[in-house]
Amino acid sequence: MTEASLDRTDLLLLAELQRQGRLTNADLAERVHLSPSACLRRVQRLERDGVIAGYRAEVSAGRLGLGLQAFVRVQLKHHDSAAVAGFAQLVDGWDEVVTCHALSGDMDYLLQVVVRDLAHFSRFLLDRLLNQPAVEDVNSSFVLRTVKAWRGLPLDG
């Protein structure tokens, strides 16, 4: 499915589900002015086509005692396929890393790290990340305040 094959109603459905993924089909249908059966068929098509990739709960990090968030830029020593794959496998196993992006530019990866406190971050950085032979350089920035949190993908073009 391409962007061009999504019509206005599909985009409305996606916008509503991004705002409130636990809407009942009846409530969702009412919000986008469809019958419940037509709404269900469209949502199922969007799921089947992979436009809707899944559903998940938005969990409060603070309520879980995870009070420190950092962005960590990582540069690898080597960029051969084995080094890249090995680093990706390591990162995938670290629960503290909630997102990891491969970058262009002077750093290779950007990690979003969520931990309890500075001591937890220090253990993560020293015992896990900097302990990896593939890592050349690391630069960390701590989140002081979130100005805008992720609220879904832009759907209006």
Is 1 contained in some domain? no
Q: Do 79 and 111 have their domain in common?
A: yes
Handedness of CA 130, 88, 101, 61 (dihedral sign): negative
Domain check: are 76 and 125 in the same one? Answer: yes
Same domain, 33 and 71: no
Q: What percent of the residues of the chain are helix, what percent strand, and what percent coil, each to the nearest 5?
A: 40, 20, 40
CATH of the domain at 70: 3.30.70.920
Q: Are residues 25 and 78 in the same domain?
A: no
**Pair (77, 128) in one structural domain:** yes
Give the domain extent around 38: 7-48
Q: Does residue 90 lie in a domain region?
A: yes
> Model confidence over 141-152: pLDDT tens digits?
999 999 999 989
Does some domain include residue 16?
Answer: yes
| pTM passes above 0.85 | yes
- One domain, residues 102 and 74: yes
Kindly report, residue by residue over 103-124, the tens digit of the pLDDT.
Answer: 999 999 999 999 999 999 999 9
